[in-house]
A and B are shown apart, each in its own frame.
Chain A
Amino acid sequence: MARTASPRRKALVTAVAWAIGFAIFFPILWTILTSFKSEGDAIASPPKFLFFDWTLENYQTVQERSNYLRHFWNSVVISFGSTLCALGIAIPAAWAMAFVPGKWTKDILMWMLSTKMMPAVGVLVPIYLIFRDTGLLDTRTGLVIVLTLMNLPIVVWMLYTYFKEIPGEILEAARMDGAGLRAEILYVLTPMAIPGIASTLLLNVILAWNEAFWTLNLTAAKAAPLTAFIASYSSPEGLFYAKLSAASTMAIAPILILGWFSQKQLVRGLTFGAVK
């Protein structure tokens, strides 16, 4: 039987939920609003919410001062590149761990996860030195490698969980039906795992897009993605809130739009197998 709630209670709970949602969203909204203010309005006290002179001048300045498109392209290459590399390694790995588990499978999974428990800064010096000596500093290749490795444990874990949801008997049925390993993965496993693979891909692209520690520390000018582009507005000549906000808005807009269009897929993937 469905649980019933009085309309008043429902309205109250809805209002509270909206309030919390708005509070969480507010900083982003404020950033976007600030990007349309003049520097004066941006630091005005009391703050101006909606009634100020809307201007696009910050966007113009940001465009003139830095090459947005280059940073954007770096971000695309680094986030999609590292995600595709990670998937390429993780799909076979997760397949093996989910369907042909060995004695150590559980331990290997835990060990992989444990690498995420170490703060990244703990290995900054060795990685920086390796990158310097191999000429990978400030290259997109270098960042693709480091982000692939950083996110690999999460990608393997997510895919492992999705693959585990696929009943082994279906793969066995494919084998009985005469499918070899290639046909089994191509015609049976992959189509069934597509929601899981897609949501892993999206989540990982978002993680890689927003990754700031390694992108800031291992790049200078050539390979710097949008995170570095934002950071470049935060310090040199003091804080310019409006310009910083414009840069931030431009940096998060693409991923926000991607997230918006793929939210159905993302939610479906994240709750995949929750209800059978």
Chain B
Amino acid sequence: MGQIELKGVTKRFGDAEVIPPLDLSIAEGEFVVFVGPSGCGKSTLLRLIAGLEDTTAGVIEIDGHDATDLPPAKRRLAMVFQSYALYPHMSVARNIAFPLKMAGLARAEIERKVKAAADVLNLTAYLDRKPGQLSGGQRQRVAIGRAIVREPKAFLFDEPLSNLDAALRVNMRLEISELHQSLKTTMVYVTHDQVEAMTMADKIVVLQAGRIEQVGSPMQLYRSPANLFVAGFIGSPRMNFITGAEAAKHQATTIGIRPEHLSVSRDAGLWQGRVGVAEHLGSDTFLHVATDHGTLNLRTGGEVALHHGDTVWLTPDLAQLHRFDAEGKAIQ
């Protein structure tokens, strides 16, 4: 259970078309991440699936049944919000119990399930507290607890980690991935952070201006981005783009090379340049090198002794070169 099918789904706010007609299918048990810059329509798309927004046109099917006009309460999906959206007047236990109470379960059953969820999420010690007395990470866990107790067909996550600090974000990312592996329930996850997308997803949907730019596994998107937008969005640091004569040599309007596919030498290479900034991270060094083709970023080993002002030669790994035509589409 937990297969979601979007057919020609469209959303208009007044005259503005936020989501042009869009098709997408999400398989049972899949972890799908919607990723894109802010305002690309990814949250709206999630809210359409949730039923919190009405579709202007198109059909949403959940497990083969038309759910387009079902209210959120009837779709049997659970959602985790960016702001956690806990009920501030209820204790943690009552927050987690709320969906079960709405489903009309018996009191003993509710207690048993709340206890089980609290065990999984390390919340047992906090069951009597109010959300206001919890830290951000604990609140997020309560929100997840509230989502898992009623065994929904799918989980919807709307930027759930955006309000957490960096270290906690990494932890929660792992916890959510582990949760997915143990529950095997369909998850649809919205984020603007491509690292979250790459690390968690079975399938990434890259969106821009409401349109799907590309759908694929993280490594598919990394290895063969369909266009300039996806190429620039997936991967960190960003792919380098070169246009003009250098690109024409490769029969392309733009060529792209990832920072990790450029090698650096003090003596010889293809492109000469001067180191602008060298960021030493210990494990890696990021170099920003000013060349005739603009500033190129590259990733190299941690022990490289290059500094500001050094003259270097860069050589791209030609097998890893990406070529794009005048419209920005990848040339295979």
Contact = CB atoms under 8 A, between A and B. Distances in A.
A179 B103 CA distance: 8
B268 interface: no
Interface stretch (A66-74, A165-173, A198-206): A165-173
B60 to A, nearest CB: 15
A176 interface: yes
Select the residue from B88, B99, B102 with max chain A CB neighbours within 10 A.
Answer: B102
B98 A177 contact: yes
Interface in A142-191: 167, 169-170, 172-180, 183, 187-188, 191
B72 interface: yes
Contact of B73 (A167, A170, A179, A187): A179
Given A177-B98, A177-B102, A172 B83 contact: no
Nearest to B14: A103
Interface in A231-253: none
A169 B83 contact: yes
Q: For this complex, into which size category does the number of interface residues on chain B fall? A: 20 to 34
A192 interface: yes
Given A178-B73, A178-B102, A179-B73, A172 B81 contact: yes
A197 B71 CA distance: 28
A175 B83 contact: no
Interface string B58-74: 00000000000001110
Which one of A172, A178, A187 has the highest number of Cβ atoms from chain B below 10 Å of its Cβ?
A178
Contact of B89 (A172, A177, A183, A191): A191
A175 B52 contact: yes
B78 interface: yes
Contacts of B99: 177-178
Contacts of B146: 173, 177
Given A167-B83, A192-B89, A176 B98 contact: no
B89 A169 contact: no
A176 B73 contact: yes
Contacts, number: 60
B150 interface: yes
A180 B99 CA distance: 11
B89 A173 contact: no
A169 B52 CA distance: 10
B81 A169 contact: yes
Contacts of B85: 167, 169-170, 172-173
Contacts of A179: 73, 98, 102
B79 interface: yes
B187 to A, nearest CB: 15
B11 to A, nearest CB: 16
B102 A176 contact: no
Main secondary structure of the interface of B (DSSP, over half): loop
Nearest to B71: A175
Contacts of A169: 81-83, 85
Interface string B100-116: 00110000000000000
A173 B144 CA distance: 12
A177 B81 CA distance: 12
Nearest to A170: B85
B88 A192 contact: yes
Contacts of B51: 175
Contacts of A172: 52, 72, 79, 81, 85
A176 B50 contact: yes
Given A183-B102, A191-B89, A192-B89, A176 B72 contact: yes
B77 interface: yes
Nearest to A194: B89
B81 A175 contact: no
A174 B297 CA distance: 47
A176 B79 contact: yes
A178 B102 CA distance: 6
B229 interface: no
User: Which of A167, A175, A177, A187 has the most chain B CB atoms closer than 10 A to its own CB?
Assistant: A177
Given A179-B102, A192-B88, A192-B89, A173 B79 contact: yes
B72 A175 contact: yes
A184 to B, nearest CB: 9
Contact of A180 (B52, B73, B86): B73
Contacts of B77: 176
Contacts of B89: 191-192
B222 interface: no
Contacts of B88: 170, 192
A176 B83 contact: no
A178 B52 contact: no
Contacts of A170: 85-88
Interface in A189-225: 191-192
Contacts of A178: 73, 99, 102-103, 150
A14 B81 CA distance: 47
A188 B73 contact: no
A225 to B, nearest CB: 37
12 contacts: A170-B88, A175-B52, A175-B73, A176-B50, A176-B79, A176-B156, A177-B78, A177-B146, A180-B73, A187-B98, A191-B89, A192-B88
Q: Give the 6 A-B residue pairs with the shortest CB-CB distance, closest first.
A: A178-B102, A173-B85, A177-B99, A169-B85, A175-B72, A176-B79
